[in-house]
Chain A
Amino acid sequence: EADIYQTPRYLVIGTGKKITLECSQTMGHDKMYWYQQDPGMELHLIHYSYGVNSTEKGDLSSESTVSRIRTEHFPLTLESARPSHTSQYLCASSGSFRLAATNEKLFFGSGTQLSVL
Protein backbone atom coordinates (compact mmCIF):
# COMPACT_ATOMS: atom_id res chain seq x y z
CA GLU A 1 0.00 0.00 0.00
CA ALA A 2 1.42 3.34 -1.07
CA ASP A 3 1.66 6.12 1.50
CA ILE A 4 0.35 8.86 -0.74
CA TYR A 5 -2.88 10.63 0.03
CA GLN A 6 -5.20 12.88 -1.92
CA THR A 7 -8.06 15.00 -0.66
CA PRO A 8 -10.84 15.46 -1.36
CA ARG A 9 -11.81 12.21 -3.12
CA TYR A 10 -14.75 13.92 -4.81
CA LEU A 11 -15.42 17.61 -5.41
CA VAL A 12 -18.41 19.25 -7.09
CA ILE A 13 -18.17 23.00 -7.49
CA GLY A 14 -19.59 25.84 -9.52
CA THR A 15 -17.89 27.66 -12.37
CA GLY A 16 -15.49 30.40 -11.34
CA LYS A 17 -14.58 28.97 -7.95
CA LYS A 18 -10.99 28.66 -6.78
CA ILE A 19 -10.03 25.16 -5.70
CA THR A 20 -6.98 23.40 -4.30
CA LEU A 21 -6.45 19.66 -4.58
CA GLU A 22 -4.23 18.30 -1.83
CA CYS A 23 -1.56 15.62 -2.20
CA SER A 24 0.79 14.37 0.50
CA GLN A 25 3.23 11.48 0.69
CA THR A 26 5.11 10.07 3.65
CA MET A 27 7.71 8.05 1.73
CA GLY A 28 10.27 10.85 1.58
CA HIS A 29 10.14 10.89 -2.23
CA ASP A 30 11.74 13.85 -3.93
CA LYS A 31 9.78 13.45 -7.17
CA MET A 32 6.07 14.16 -7.38
CA TYR A 33 3.65 14.35 -10.29
CA TRP A 34 0.11 15.35 -11.22
CA TYR A 35 -1.76 13.43 -13.91
CA GLN A 36 -5.15 14.09 -15.47
CA GLN A 37 -7.32 11.20 -16.61
CA ASP A 38 -10.65 11.21 -18.42
CA PRO A 39 -12.85 8.06 -18.57
CA GLY A 40 -11.46 5.44 -20.94
CA MET A 41 -8.48 7.60 -21.81
CA GLU A 42 -4.78 7.49 -20.99
CA LEU A 43 -3.17 9.44 -18.15
CA HIS A 44 -1.62 12.76 -19.12
CA LEU A 45 1.17 14.41 -17.14
CA ILE A 46 0.26 18.02 -16.28
CA HIS A 47 2.86 18.96 -13.62
CA TYR A 48 5.92 17.49 -11.94
CA SER A 49 8.49 18.43 -9.34
CA TYR A 50 12.09 17.36 -8.71
CA GLY A 51 11.99 18.52 -5.11
CA VAL A 52 11.34 21.51 -2.87
CA ASN A 53 10.89 24.77 -4.81
CA SER A 54 11.00 22.90 -8.13
CA THR A 55 7.94 22.74 -10.41
CA GLU A 56 7.63 22.07 -14.14
CA LYS A 57 4.80 21.80 -16.63
CA GLY A 58 4.07 18.40 -18.11
CA ASP A 59 3.07 17.19 -21.54
CA LEU A 60 -0.55 18.33 -21.37
CA SER A 61 -1.23 22.04 -21.13
CA SER A 62 -3.18 22.86 -18.00
CA GLU A 63 -4.53 26.06 -16.49
CA SER A 64 -3.76 24.72 -13.03
CA THR A 65 -0.70 25.66 -10.97
CA VAL A 66 1.30 23.73 -8.38
CA SER A 67 3.67 24.49 -5.54
CA ARG A 68 6.27 22.49 -3.64
CA ILE A 69 7.16 24.20 -0.40
CA ARG A 70 7.63 20.97 1.55
CA THR A 71 8.93 17.63 0.31
CA GLU A 72 5.81 15.76 1.35
CA HIS A 73 3.23 18.20 -0.01
CA PHE A 74 2.36 18.98 -3.66
CA PRO A 75 -0.97 20.83 -3.95
CA LEU A 76 -2.64 21.72 -7.26
CA THR A 77 -4.69 24.91 -7.61
CA LEU A 78 -7.26 26.09 -10.13
CA GLU A 79 -7.87 29.83 -9.78
CA SER A 80 -11.18 29.80 -11.67
CA ALA A 81 -12.70 26.42 -12.36
CA ARG A 82 -14.61 25.75 -15.58
CA PRO A 83 -16.64 22.76 -16.81
CA SER A 84 -13.73 21.82 -19.10
CA HIS A 85 -11.70 21.12 -15.94
CA THR A 86 -14.00 18.23 -15.03
CA SER A 87 -11.76 15.19 -14.81
CA GLN A 88 -9.96 12.84 -12.44
CA TYR A 89 -6.70 14.20 -11.04
CA LEU A 90 -4.10 11.69 -9.86
CA CYS A 91 -1.06 12.55 -7.77
CA ALA A 92 2.01 10.29 -7.83
CA SER A 93 5.50 10.11 -6.38
CA SER A 94 8.73 8.22 -6.93
CA GLY A 95 12.17 8.02 -5.41
CA SER A 96 13.80 8.65 -8.76
CA PHE A 97 12.74 11.00 -11.54
CA ARG A 98 14.47 8.91 -14.16
CA LEU A 99 11.75 6.26 -14.16
CA ALA A 100 12.60 5.45 -17.74
CA ALA A 101 16.09 4.36 -16.78
CA THR A 102 15.28 2.53 -13.59
CA ASN A 103 12.84 -0.01 -12.26
CA GLU A 104 11.68 2.52 -9.74
CA LYS A 105 8.00 2.24 -8.95
CA LEU A 106 5.61 5.11 -9.44
CA PHE A 107 3.15 5.28 -6.55
CA PHE A 108 -0.28 6.82 -7.12
CA GLY A 109 -2.80 8.34 -4.76
CA SER A 110 -6.49 7.43 -4.98
CA GLY A 111 -7.30 10.48 -7.05
CA THR A 112 -9.70 13.42 -6.86
CA GLN A 113 -12.75 13.31 -9.10
CA LEU A 114 -13.53 16.94 -9.93
CA SER A 115 -16.85 18.02 -11.40
CA VAL A 116 -17.36 21.66 -12.36
CA LEU A 117 -20.96 22.66 -13.01
Chain B
Amino acid sequence: KNQVEQSPQSLIILEGKNCTLQCNYTVSPFSNLRWYKQDTGRGPVSLTIMTFSENTKSNGRYTATLDADTKQSSLHITASQLSDSASYICVVSDRGSTLGRLYFGRGTQLTVWP
Protein backbone atom coordinates (compact mmCIF):
# COMPACT_ATOMS: atom_id res chain seq x y z
CA LYS B 1 0.00 0.00 0.00
CA ASN B 2 1.56 3.24 -1.18
CA GLN B 3 0.96 5.98 1.38
CA VAL B 4 2.78 8.72 -0.50
CA GLU B 5 1.34 9.88 -3.80
CA GLN B 6 3.14 12.32 -6.08
CA SER B 7 1.84 14.30 -9.03
CA PRO B 8 2.34 14.80 -11.81
CA GLN B 9 4.13 11.59 -12.73
CA SER B 10 6.16 13.53 -15.30
CA LEU B 11 6.55 17.15 -16.29
CA ILE B 12 8.27 19.00 -19.13
CA ILE B 13 9.05 22.70 -18.82
CA LEU B 14 11.21 25.23 -20.64
CA GLU B 15 14.40 26.54 -19.13
CA GLY B 16 13.82 29.59 -16.97
CA LYS B 17 10.22 28.70 -16.11
CA ASN B 18 8.91 27.88 -12.64
CA CYS B 19 7.14 24.67 -11.67
CA THR B 20 5.45 23.07 -8.67
CA LEU B 21 5.44 19.39 -7.77
CA GLN B 22 2.85 17.89 -5.43
CA CYS B 23 2.99 15.27 -2.69
CA ASN B 24 -0.04 13.91 -0.81
CA TYR B 25 0.40 11.47 2.04
CA THR B 26 -1.66 9.41 4.45
CA VAL B 27 1.20 8.45 6.78
CA SER B 28 0.17 8.77 10.39
CA PRO B 29 1.35 9.68 12.94
CA PHE B 30 3.46 12.10 10.93
CA SER B 31 7.02 12.93 11.89
CA ASN B 32 8.75 14.66 9.00
CA LEU B 33 8.72 15.06 5.23
CA ARG B 34 11.73 15.07 2.94
CA TRP B 35 12.26 16.00 -0.69
CA TYR B 36 15.07 14.35 -2.63
CA LYS B 37 16.47 14.95 -6.10
CA GLN B 38 17.60 11.88 -8.02
CA ASP B 39 19.57 12.30 -11.23
CA THR B 40 19.31 9.45 -13.73
CA GLY B 41 21.52 6.57 -12.68
CA ARG B 42 22.50 8.21 -9.38
CA GLY B 43 21.43 8.03 -5.76
CA PRO B 44 18.94 10.52 -4.27
CA VAL B 45 20.28 13.75 -2.77
CA SER B 46 18.46 15.52 0.06
CA LEU B 47 16.90 18.91 -0.75
CA THR B 48 14.79 19.71 2.33
CA ILE B 49 13.53 18.14 5.55
CA MET B 50 10.44 19.57 7.29
CA THR B 51 8.89 18.70 10.61
CA PHE B 52 5.28 19.13 11.70
CA SER B 53 5.83 22.70 12.87
CA GLU B 54 7.48 23.94 9.68
CA ASN B 55 5.37 25.02 6.72
CA THR B 56 8.06 26.41 4.43
CA LYS B 57 11.71 25.64 3.84
CA SER B 58 13.99 26.85 1.08
CA ASN B 59 17.20 25.54 -0.42
CA GLY B 60 18.39 27.90 -3.13
CA ARG B 61 15.86 27.84 -5.98
CA TYR B 62 13.92 25.04 -4.28
CA THR B 63 11.12 25.91 -1.86
CA ALA B 64 9.12 23.22 -0.10
CA THR B 65 5.82 23.81 1.67
CA LEU B 66 3.97 21.59 4.09
CA ASP B 67 0.33 21.61 5.18
CA ALA B 68 0.14 19.00 7.93
CA ASP B 69 -3.63 19.50 8.27
CA THR B 70 -4.40 18.52 4.68
CA LYS B 71 -1.35 16.21 4.50
CA GLN B 72 0.01 17.90 1.44
CA SER B 73 3.42 19.17 0.43
CA SER B 74 4.71 20.95 -2.63
CA LEU B 75 8.14 21.59 -4.08
CA HIS B 76 8.45 24.80 -6.06
CA ILE B 77 11.38 25.25 -8.42
CA THR B 78 12.16 28.79 -9.50
CA ALA B 79 13.91 29.81 -12.73
CA SER B 80 14.51 26.23 -13.82
CA GLN B 81 17.85 25.15 -15.25
CA LEU B 82 18.77 22.23 -17.49
CA SER B 83 20.48 20.63 -14.49
CA ASP B 84 17.13 20.49 -12.69
CA SER B 85 16.13 17.60 -14.98
CA ALA B 86 15.77 14.71 -12.55
CA SER B 87 13.29 12.71 -10.52
CA TYR B 88 12.02 14.44 -7.38
CA ILE B 89 11.04 12.09 -4.59
CA CYS B 90 8.84 12.85 -1.59
CA VAL B 91 9.58 10.80 1.54
CA VAL B 92 7.44 10.82 4.68
CA SER B 93 8.45 9.47 8.09
CA ASP B 94 6.16 8.16 10.77
CA ARG B 95 6.76 8.14 14.50
CA GLY B 96 4.46 5.27 15.31
CA SER B 97 7.18 2.77 16.03
CA THR B 98 10.39 2.72 17.97
CA LEU B 99 12.49 2.64 14.85
CA GLY B 100 10.41 4.89 12.64
CA ARG B 101 9.81 4.18 8.98
CA LEU B 102 10.33 6.02 5.70
CA TYR B 103 7.59 5.94 3.05
CA PHE B 104 8.82 6.78 -0.44
CA GLY B 105 6.78 8.24 -3.28
CA ARG B 106 7.42 7.12 -6.85
CA GLY B 107 8.75 10.51 -7.82
CA THR B 108 7.98 13.16 -10.41
CA GLN B 109 10.22 13.02 -13.47
CA LEU B 110 11.05 16.61 -14.43
CA THR B 111 12.56 17.44 -17.81
CA VAL B 112 13.80 20.94 -18.53
CA TRP B 113 14.18 21.83 -22.21
CA PRO B 114 16.40 24.63 -23.53
For B, the interface residue count at a CB cutoff of 8 angstroms equals: 27
In the complex, identify which listed stretch (A13-21, A66-74, A103-111) lies at the interface while the others stay far away.
A103-111
Q: Are A111 and B95 in contact (CB under 8 A)?
A: no
A47 CB, min distance to chain B CBs, angstroms: 14
Q: Contact at A99–B100, with CB atoms within 8 Å? A: yes
Chain B binding surface SS class: strand
Taking A42-B2, A43-B104, A105-B49 as contacts, is the C-beta distance between A98 and B42 under 8 angstroms? Answer: no
Supposing A42-B2, A108-B44, A113-B41 touch, asked if A100 and B101 sit within 8 A by C-beta, the answer is yes
Could you tell me if A98 and B51 are in contact, using CB atoms closer than 8 angstroms? no
B106 at the A/B interface (Cβ < 8 Å)? yes
| A residues at B contact (CB < 8 Å) | 2, 4, 6, 9, 40-45, 59, 90-92, 97-101, 103, 105-111, 113
Which residues does B use to contact A, with CB under 8 Å?
A: 2, 4, 9, 31-32, 34, 41-46, 49, 51, 89, 93-95, 99-102, 104-107, 109
